[in-house]
Every structure is written in C-alpha cells, then in structure tokens.
Amino acid sequence: MRLSRYFLPTLKETPAEAQIVSHRYMLRAGMIRQASAGIYSWLPLGLRVLKRIEAIVRDEQDKAGCQELLMPTVQPAELWQESGRYEDYGREMLRIRDRHERDMLYGPTNEELITDIFRGAIQSYRDLPKLLYHIQWKFRDEVRPRFGVMRGREFLMKDSYSFDADFDGAKRAYNKMFVSYLRTFARLGLRAIPMEAETGPIGGNLSHEFIILADTGESEVFCHRDYVEHDVLAEDVDYDGDLEPVVRYWTSLYARTDDKHDQAAFEAEVPEDARVRRRGIEVGHIFYFGTKYSDPMGARVTTADGQDVPVHMGSYGIGVSRLVGAIIEASHDDAGIVWPEAVAPFDIGLINLKSGDAACDSACLDIYNQLQAAHQSVLYDDREERPGAKFANMDLIGLPWQVIVGPRGLQNHVVELKRRDTGERHELSVGSALAKLWAWKS
Amino acid sequence: MRLSRYFLPTLKETPAEAQIVSHRYMLRAGMIRQASAGIYSWLPLGLRVLKRIEAIVRDEQDKAGCQELLMPTVQPAELWQESGRYEDYGREMLRIRDRHERDMLYGPTNEELITDIFRGAIQSYRDLPKLLYHIQWKFRDEVRPRFGVMRGREFLMKDSYSFDADFDGAKRAYNKMFVSYLRTFARLGLRAIPMEAETGPIGGNLSHEFIILADTGESEVFCHRDYVEHDVLAEDVDYDGDLEPVVRYWTSLYARTDDKHDQAAFEAEVPEDARVRRRGIEVGHIFYFGTKYSDPMGARVTTADGQDVPVHMGSYGIGVSRLVGAIIEASHDDAGIVWPEAVAPFDIGLINLKSGDAACDSACLDIYNQLQAAHQSVLYDDREERPGAKFANMDLIGLPWQVIVGPRGLQNHVVELKRRDTGERHELSVGSALAKLWAWKS
C-alpha cells in the first residue's frame, strides 16, 4: 500500500483525552477515531490489526474443536427474563424498545441466546459434547468509558459456550479452553497468566481470568514468580488427549486477581522472594457455571441411562478489540508502538527519503515489488515529506521492519534495514538487506 | 467436518412461518434460527455461506481500490441532527437512549458517520479521491419483517463511500463501483442487472439498483431482453482505465425498477418481443448524491485552484446477508438448495451409506483424507441413519458435489459421484471418481 493513497490520518498532537499510552498511540497512529464516548470507528490501519488478532483467535478456537456461529447483536428481553438476569444485570445493559414497544437489548454477552439455540436443537447426550463460539460486537453501557478500546462501550468479543452431560465433561471442555487460551495469547506475542477470579454477573463457581502484566493495568494481581517466567506452551496440543496436567501446573501455584486475593494465603504459600504483586490487564475470562442457565431455561438432555438432566455449561470470553490496546500497553516505547510480528498491520515499512528523485523512486519500486512478490505486506511511504517526519511516523506506526532508501545510500549502493523492536540497523545492498530480512523473519 | 459432530440442526417439517423458498430452506437446512422477529442467529452452515459471500464482496472492493474500515453499530443522534435526517428517517430507525439519557441509534446506514470521519481527516484535494467501505451489521426496524434474511431487521451490509473534489471525479467513483458490482455478482454465480432506481432516504439524483430476476422478488422490474441474455463481464478490469463504455452499455437500454417505470417510454424504447417484465430482488444499490451530506456537515476540501468546496460523495451498498437468501431464490429445486460453487458451505458432501461397516468406513475415511489433502472442504455424513434420510439431507443442504459410498458399490470397487445441479451420476472407482471431480471443478 502506498501511503500517499492510504487513508491514514495520523495526528501530530497527543489528544488530551487519552490517559493511557495505548489510547494515545491508537489515536495518533490513525488506527481509531471516536464516534461517541466509548464507541470507536476502526480506521484501515487499526482494522488490519483487529482482523489479524481475530484470525488467530478463530484459528485456535477451531483447533480446539469449537464450531463458529454468529448470534445477532440485538436480543429479545424475554430470554433474559427467563434466566432471571434481565433485572440483575443493571444499567450496563443497553435496553432498547422497538417500534412495536417490545423490550429488546444490545447483547452484553450471550449465555441466554446460546442456551435458547441449544434447547431448540439438542435433546440427547449422543449429540454432546458441543463447543460453540462466535465473534461479535457487544455493548456494555459503562458509566465512565475510558482508556480507548480497553474499556469501551461497543467492543468485539469472542465468546464460546460448552455443553456437556455432566461435570466431568464440562471440566474437559474447561480444560480445552484453558489450554487454547494459553496458546492463543502466546501466538499474539503475549504472556497471559491464568488467575483465579470472581465470576461476577456470569455466575458459576470455577473461573479464571487471563492476565497480562502491565503498569497501566486496571487492577492489582498477585502470583508466584514462576508463572511470570515460565514459558507458555506454544507447541501443538492434542485436544483429545488429557489436558489435566497442563491445567494442573497452571493452577498449582498462587495466582489470583484482587477480588480473590487473600494476603495470608499468599504469604503462606509463596516464598517472599517469589511473590509478584503487579498491575494486570484482563484479556480473557473463562467460567464453568453448571446449570445456572440450563435449569431455568429448560435446556435438558437425556443421558445414556435414560435420565433427563439440565445440560452443564461453561462460557469462555476473549476481548478481541481490547487486545489491540493490551498488546500496545505490553509492547511500545517512547517513539510509538512496537507490534509483535503476528499482529502487525503490515509486515514491512518502506521509506523513500526523497520521493520524486528518480533513483530513489526506482529503487523503492523495485524493493516494493520484490517484497510483494514474496507475499509480504508493505506500507510504502512515497509521500513528499521531510525524512524526519517519515522516520517519526513509521516508528509511531510500529511495523516490525523498516527498509529506508535515500539518495546518499544509493550512491554507495546501500539501503538501510532497521528492526523496530531493538533499533538494530544495517546498511546493505538491496539483495543483502532482503536476505537478512528473511533470516530475521524465519 | 464429520456430520456426527457438526452442529447442524436440520428440520424435517417445513416451518409454517416461512413464506418463501429461501426462508424455508435456510430454516430446514439448519443455516439460521430466529432470535426474534426479523433477527437471526447464523448457525455454522449458514455462517460459512455468509462468510464466503463476504469474502468475495471484500475482494472485489479491494480490487476496485476501496479501503476497508469498520464503523460501529451504535451512532450518536447528533450527527443525524446535523444532516437533517434524524427526524426524516422515521420509525425504521432504531432509536436508543443510553444510561446518561443521550440519544443514540443503531445505524441503518452510515453516510453521516463516514462524513464525520472524513471531515476530521481530509482537507485537501491532494488527498482525493478516496473510496472507503465497511462490512457491518445494520438495523432497520421494519414494521413487518418477513422472508427470513431477505427482509430482516438486523442485517449485514457492505457500504462504500466515495469522496471527490467535483462531479467528474464522483462519476469515475460511481463507474468503479458500478463495474465492481457487475463483477461481484457474477462471481457469486448471479446475473444482476443494473436498473434505474429511486434514491429514497439516501437522496441524490443518480442511482441504480442491481436486480436479480426471481418469481419471489419483492417488486416488479422492467428491462430490455438483451440485459437478461448479455453476459456480465467477469474478466479482470483495469479500474484506472476508462470504465465509461461498460457503464454506457449497461445504461443505454431500458431497465427500471417499478418506482422509475414509465410504461409509455418502455413501449416506445423497447420492441414488444424484447420487453421483459418480471419480479426482481434488489441485491445492491448505488447512489451519487453530491453534497447532500458534506454541505450541512461542513465536509469541505480545498481545490487545486484554492477554492473551498463541499466534497462530492456517493454511497454504494450490497446486502451481504440478504444475498444468502437471494442466491437460494435464484438457485434451488424441489429437493433443496443448489449452491453455486463459489459460495457453497462445503465443496463436497461425502455420504457413508452404512456407517459402522468396516469397508464403508475405511473407504470413506480414505476419500475424506484425500479430499482434504487436496484442500477441499468436505462434509462427511458418518451418522447412523437410513440412506434415504442421508440422500434427502445432502440434497437439501445443496453442496455442489456428492460422493456416495455403499457396501454394494464397494463389492464392485465403485463409488457414486453426483452433481447436485444437474443430477448427473457416475459409478466409478475412487481414483476415477476423484479424477472426474477435478475435471468438473476446473
């Protein structure tokens, strides 16, 4: 993509309303634009990141045996009256009345609707287990939306739901999601630690939040240092095998959110030099809640021995749009964003230091074509701008690799290759620069 | 995907509420389930089709030089008050009041929001032309939602917006979208005819609807027979070249929706034996409306000669979720859906006529693996069901190709290969069946 044609309205000034770094950089880099408090438009650069994250989340859900469907954003109030949550949910639920005066709502989550779909389709244990998910916009009418996409009102969430005939089956589903979340976040370039958590308005008695440590995190978290240092499993997993050992490791040491924190237990269980007390950002939350919804809503199955029982359920959420902010919180410097390769909006930034100069234009076009032929996505800064502005802009956007082409370099038959994360730079011939780039990337 | 594990709640009975064939088949084939009047959940089979259509629409938008962004579903009322449409739009607009008593709405379309984004980002002709699009859920609170996804309340739309410094530029953008729509619908296996249309609540003075002819169409359309017979261009297009000849051809003969129909002109312009009067389904609608939004909302640019003018705009919509129904209306028989290859939820249906029989299971597994290795998506009916039920189910779902494996055939070392569209069948060895399948598909 040529930057001269791209819709990328970057800002030179830091917007006053942005209190945290991810919000500032997302606005400055032209990734998002506020439509209303806590509601954002995703501009082309931001949408590319959102889609890459979504694709990884989807891929890991599919690998874990989840099947994708898509529920609507607007739901009928009746279902929430059946479950008993219509009144309980409070003012965060965006209530809507349609033209026929029917009570509707913009879904903040989907336990009721998926339970309704299940009860209309499945009656027998023979059709279990089932793991279903969707990736859909949700709305929670936060009283004080802030921190950009980190605590917005309209947000993109992946939510999965498991259906099993008994607790043992439900625990296997919980384990699958637990492990797939470890893998998902690792692929996104994040270290997310599962921590015991409160269940809140979803309910249930078994729940973990997946937490990224970051100074700007919304709450305090407490855990054993081993979890901060332990490599999250990224290798392939056999989801039909026994996942309990992995889950047991990740639940054997102290790791709790502040709601669940118990200082006495922390001190008793964790040696002083292994106690980690940090701020954290929640990026995923999983729940086992048994028959909390299936019971009142009549989602029942016949078991192998002919009994009629409410189905055991769990739900499993990942904040897809929130992750864009969370990744920036975890990966940035003073100059801007430092994207992990897996989610970068483009693989490579190509800077032409003297657009209009025949040698620079020709060398850039040649590199641009070579990179695209190698299936790399390239953002090519072909604008007529000062070099300083181009460097600052490319660092702000945070693409992992930069290729910089200027007239002086070309006289010496070299271009500059730069890593965004370490700042490492090399002056090399075009051929050697590309060879080094492939070596770095592999 | 093994059908025994797939979440595919097909129905044996025809649902009473479904008045048209696409609605009936989508419910019976387990593609959708109603959440509330005019609001549907897309079950896994339906979502696969929706996503394939979305991907083709996106690809053709990208090829035409459109850049994707994503605007939110919930919009502030202020923007619609600025344009003057907040009161005009009437009761089809779903109005929402948030917890702070601010007036919001669920976007039925996005002219106001994109104009707001534009005016915050672009001030100069040098940054023009721009073509932006998004694919997002919309809501129109229809008084009588019906016909399933054909006239739902929550629906998925691709809407593009063009920005140019003058009419000539805007007309070039209009032509790009005109041609890209011809290509998009052709790739979807549809013959969609551009017809002069009223502009309705979007406004403007130049507008075409893209119409599929179908007996269940919502309105009457009138056109010259040449358009029904003329091949829509499917070859590649140079969008930077002159598209006027293509547009001129498609606008030179009589083709109008009923709102624009003029019987006297029809009879004067079209010889009697070339007059086509049919029912039609609208699948796309394009508008040039000049400065209708940029003027009141102050979206202005400086021109090359230093003038400050409101930007010229157009908008261009494709009903992505509606297309799922429209394709079924255009392509089905008494047994069920007949998917065009480009949008089929799976490429191939594999039927095991005797699940549990060692020879059948082994032959099916071998074929399943071979097809998957060749990057074909396969729905494998491995359930313990009667052959008749399996045949009926696979025909209902409408996958383009079926491979049928039974014990008697295997004794003669053959399987059956069937085309869904023509019903053509062949008994062949596995190797020959796959060879014939590749020949058909290429």
Tokens representing B318? 């494709």
Contact B47 A70 (CB under 8 A): yes
Instruction: Assess A224–B contact: CB distance below 8 Å, yes or no.
Output: no
CA distance B318 to B284: 4
Ranges of residues in chain B with a pLDDT under 70 are 232-235
Contacts of A30 in chain B (CB under 8 A): 121
DSSP E strands in A219-338: the ranges are: 219-224, 255-257, 275-290, 300-302, 308-310, 312-319, 332-333, 336-337
Contacts of A131 in chain B (CB under 8 A): none
Instruction: Assess B143–A contact: CB distance below 8 Å, yes or no.
Output: yes
Instruction: Assess B36–A contact: CB distance below 8 Å, yes or no.
Output: yes
pLDDT at B216: 85
Contact B76 A36 (CB under 8 A): yes
Contact B36 A104 (CB under 8 A): yes
- Whether the Cβ atoms of residue A65 and residue A58 lie closer than 8 Å to each other: no
Tokens representing A88? 């309980």
DSSP string over B79-135: HHHHHTHHHHTGGGSEEEE-TT--EEEE-S--HHHHHHHHHTT--BGGG--EEEEEE
Length of chain B: 442
CA distance A335 to B212: 53
Higher pLDDT, residue A221 or A88 = A221
Instruction: Assess A164–B contact: CB distance below 8 Å, yes or no.
Output: no
Closest C-alpha to B258, from B287, B235, B279: B279
Mean per-residue pLDDT for A234-238? 75
pLDDT at A274: 96
**What does residue B137 show for φ and ψ, rounded to 5 degrees?**
-70, 140
CA distance A154 to B310: 31
Q: How do residues A269-314 score in pLDDT, each as one tens digit? A: 999 999 999 999 999 999 999 999 999 999 999 999 999 999 999 9
Contacts of B33 in chain A (CB under 8 A): 117, 120-121
Contact B33 A117 (CB under 8 A): yes
CA distance B60 to B328: 22
pLDDT at A235: 67
Instruction: Assess B359–A contact: CB distance below 8 Å, yes or no.
Output: no
CA distance B31 to A293: 24
What is the number of helices (H) and of strands (E) in chain A?
15, 23
pLDDT at B440: 85
* Residue of B10, B39, B128 to mutate when probing chain A, most A C-beta within 10 A: B39
Share of chain A above pLDDT 90, in %: 90
- The DSSP bridge partners found for residue A196 are A208, A256
Contacts of B70 in chain A (CB under 8 A): 41-42, 47, 50
Contact A36 B74 (CB under 8 A): yes
CA distance B176 to B10: 41
Measured from the Cβ of residue B356, the count of other Cβ atoms closer than 10 Å reads: 9
Quote the crossing angle between the two packed helices B320-330 and B21-28, to the nearest 10°. Answer: 100
- Whether the Cβ atoms of residue B279 and residue B241 lie closer than 8 Å to each other: no
Share of chain A above pLDDT 70, in %: 99
* Residue of B99, B124, B136, B153 to mutate when probing chain A, most A C-beta within 10 A: B99
pLDDT at A401: 97
Q: How do residues B379-413 score in pLDDT, each as one tens digit? A: 999 999 999 999 999 999 999 999 999 999 999 99
pLDDT at B236: 74
Instruction: Assess B139–A contact: CB distance below 8 Å, yes or no.
Output: yes
Closest C-alpha to B10, from B32, B41, B37: B32
- Whether the Cβ atoms of residue B255 and residue B227 lie closer than 8 Å to each other: yes
Tokens representing A349? 């930034």
Contacts of A92 in chain B (CB under 8 A): 99
Nearest CA in chain A to B42: A70
Q: Which residues, numbered 65 to 84 in chain B, qualify as contacts with chain A under a Cβ-Cβ cut-off of 8 Å?
A: 67-76
Instruction: Assess A113–B contact: CB distance below 8 Å, yes or no.
Output: yes
Mean per-residue pLDDT for A224-229? 93
Residue in B73, B98, B120 nearest the CB of A73: B73
Measured from the Cβ of residue B348, the count of other Cβ atoms closer than 10 Å reads: 23
Instruction: Assess A427–B contact: CB distance below 8 Å, yes or no.
Output: no
> Which residue in this structure is represented by tokens 């290509």?
B183
Q: Write the CB contacts of A324 (distance below 8 Å, at least 6 apart in sequence).
A: A22, A26, A31, A46, A49, A50, A53, A149
Contacts of B30 in chain A (CB under 8 A): 121
pLDDT at A205: 74
pLDDT at A200: 77
Q: How do residues A25-53 score in pLDDT, each as one tens digit? A: 999 999 999 999 999 999 999 999 999 99
Residue in A41, A47, A69 nearest the CB of B42: A69
Instruction: Assess A155–B contact: CB distance below 8 Å, yes or no.
Output: no
Contacts of A132 in chain B (CB under 8 A): 7, 44
Residue A176, CA atoms < 13 Å, CB-side half-sphere: 27
Q: How do residues A156-214 score in pLDDT, each as one tens digit? A: 999 999 999 999 999 999 999 999 999 999 999 999 999 998 877 777 778 999 999 99
**What does residue B431 show for φ and ψ, rounded to 5 degrees?**
-60, -45
**What does residue B111 show for φ and ψ, rounded to 5 degrees?**
-55, -45
CA distance B316 to B174: 8
Nearest CA in chain B to A76: B36
Distance from CA of B247 to the nearest CA of A (A): 25
**Sheet holding B94-97: strands in order across?**
B74-76, B103-106, B94-97
Contact A44 B69 (CB under 8 A): yes
pTM of the predicted model over 0.95: yes
Nearest CA in chain B to A10: B121
Instruction: Assess B155–A contact: CB distance below 8 Å, yes or no.
Output: no
Q: How do residues A121-159 score in pLDDT, each as one tens digit? A: 999 999 999 999 999 999 999 999 989 999 999 999 999
Question: Contacts for A337-341 with beta carbons within 8 Å, 24 or more apart?
Answer: A337/A25, A337/A29, A337/A396, A337/A397, A337/A398, A338/A398, A338/A400, A338/A420, A338/A421, A339/A49, A339/A398, A339/A399, A339/A400, A339/A420, A340/A188, A340/A189, A340/A190, A340/A400, A341/A189, A341/A400, A341/A441
Distance from CA of B124 to the nearest CA of A (A): 13
Q: How do residues A329-372 score in pLDDT, each as one tens digit? A: 999 999 999 999 999 999 999 999 999 999 999 999 999 999 99
Contacts of B75 in chain A (CB under 8 A): 35-36, 39
Quote the crossing angle between the two packed helices A320-330 and A21-28, to the nearest 10°. Answer: 100
DSSP string over B40-89: EEE-HHHHHHHHHHHHHHHHHHHHTT-EE-B--SEEEHHHHHHHTHHHHT
- Whether the Cβ atoms of residue A271 and residue A298 lie closer than 8 Å to each other: no
Distance from CA of B41 to the nearest CA of A (A): 4
pLDDT at A230: 78
Length of chain A: 442
Average pLDDT over chain A reads: 95
Distance from CA of B297 to the nearest CA of A (A): 15
Contacts of B121 in chain A (CB under 8 A): 7, 9, 30, 33
Amino acid found at B420: R
Nearest CA in chain B to A90: B99
Contact A36 B69 (CB under 8 A): no
Contacts of B50 in chain A (CB under 8 A): 70
CA distance B402 to B400: 7
Contact A43 B117 (CB under 8 A): yes
> Which residue in this structure is represented by tokens 């916009």?
A137
